Each structure stands twice: as C-alpha cells, then as structure tokens.
Chains A and B, each alone.
Chain A
Amino acid sequence: MGKGLRTALATVLLGGLLGYLVTGLGGPLIEEMALFGNRESTEARRYMIAVLENEPETLANLTPKGDVVSRAMQYLQSDESQGQWTPLSLTYLGGLTKGGLQVHNYAIELRSASGREQFIPLALTLANGKVIRRE
C-alpha cells in the first residue's frame, strides 16, 4: 500500500473515531445539560409501545432480568390483559437525563372492552437502557 493511501486512510480513520466519540459521549452530555431539551429515549418508546401492544417478550428484554416467578407474573398479566383495552393515544410528556439515569413520562389513553375511556400517566426510570422503575 502506498504511503499516500496509508496517510489518507489514517486521516479518515482518525476523523471517524473523533466523530464517533464526540457523538457518543457528547450526545448524552448535551442531554444532561438540557441544552436542546431532552430527547425521548429509544428504549422508553419501545417499552411504551410494548405495553400498549401487549408484547411480554419485548417488555422482558427492556427490563432487568428478574427471578422466574416475577417473569412468570409478567406473562400472566400480559395474557390476562389481552383484548381488555384498546390504546387510543400515546403522548410523550418529557423527561430528563441525570447522572446515568433517564426519566421519561408519558400519557396514554385507553378504551376498555366495556367502552370506558381512561387517561393514565406512566413514568419510567431507565438505567443502562433498561426500565428499572415504572410508576
């Protein structure tokens, strides 16, 4: 390989590394400083959609692995709530990133099988991409 090509490749790689690191490390830092508001997290959105679509597998993937009984309970709850309600809306209220923790708040509208409508808030706390608290 010619010296010229090696130099060009090294320059591109160095730039690539810098771009990757700045985006990877700078993004969360900017979010924590709330310079441009807080961006909704991919995991939080996926979790909320899984709640509304009743997808226990996705919910299990997005929560820390608990004991076998609590996982069984999650499947049971999911089976029991199948077809009990229809989601009408999902609204991201906002959130904050603080010291490795992310908090994301949502409002959901549901219609039960009997036609009764509910308007419920849900607050998620995430650490390392997993939902560690749901209130």
Chain B
Amino acid sequence: MSTAVGQSAVAAERPAFHMSGWATFILFLLGILAGVALNSYISPPPPANPYAELLQVGEPPESAAVVKVVLADDARTLSRMLPGEILQGLGKAIDPLEEVFEAKFVGGTERKGDILASYVMTGRGNAGQSFSVGVVFRVSGGKVIGVN
C-alpha cells in the first residue's frame, strides 16, 4: 500500500512537458510552410507554354479613346468613332453587358503592325447581374480595325 502511494507521488512530481517558445514557433512555422506547399501541390501553376510568345506592348491611344467613350455611355460619339461593322463586333464582344462600369487594360501585343489591345470590361448584364468580359481591340495604322 505504501509502495503504491509512493509511486503515484513520484508520477505527480514528474515535471509536465513544456516546449520552449522558440520550439513552438519553429514547429508552427514548419506547419505553415507544409500547408502552403500542400496548397501549391493541389493547385499547380499553369502548364508550360509549348509555343513562342510575342512581346507585350502598352495601351494604344486609339483603343483607349474608344474605351473612354464606352465608359461615358456616349452612344453618339461612339457612332462617329467606329464604322458599323466594328460597332457590331464591339456589341458582340461586350454581350451580355448592357452597361459598362469599369474597363481595365490588361495587356497588349503586336505583330507586323497589328496591335491587339486587351481589356476586361465589367458591368451589368441583361439579367441585372454583375458580369465581366474580355474585349480585344485590333489597332492598325492609327485606327481600330476590329474588335473581338
């Protein structure tokens, strides 16, 4: 009986495990790194581009002017700026947006004098929902000659 009491007394006196602050911090940091690595593994980066890539160019003033008018919702000026065929292309490109709130130039490239200037336009769709579409203007010879 006295032996059992003695053993439990020894167990009670055993010092409780305490990790030092640094050890806890390092383990926590390791955990964070493992979590980040796991997330990167689950959502891998885009596959390598097997084709050649063209150089990026800045925003051409011709498409910037058109976008400014679209944002101003100025149909009269837009009708004077673009011929019917290109207006139709623009209408198709911004479909289903009925009103454009925001347009951001996201990048452009050039090949043999043809510049493709790309934008993301955000606005209100025909069902009243917020929607974003990609619009790419083709600029050549100082004019907008196409829209996709």
Contact = CB atoms under 8 A, between A and B. Distances in A.
Nearest to A52: B51
Interface size class of B (residues with CB under 8 A): 35 or more
Contacts, number: 181
B109 A91 contact: yes
Interface stretch (A66-74, A75-83, A97-105): A97-105
A107 B116 contact: yes
A84 to B, nearest CB: 17
A124 B106 CA distance: 13
Contacts of B131: 101
A45 B19 contact: no
Interface majority SS on A: helix, strand, loop or mixed? mixed
Interface residues of A, number: 56
Given A89-B53, A95-B120, A135-B93, A45 B134 contact: no
Interface in B1-41: 16-17, 19, 23-24, 27-36, 38-40
B148 A16 contact: no
Interface of A: 2-4, 7-8, 11-24, 27, 38, 40-42, 44-46, 49, 52, 87-96, 98-99, 101, 103-105, 107, 109, 119-125, 133, 135
Which 7 A-B residue pairings sit nearest by Cβ, starting from the closest? A15-B31, A19-B35, A123-B134, A94-B106, A94-B107, A121-B136, A45-B46
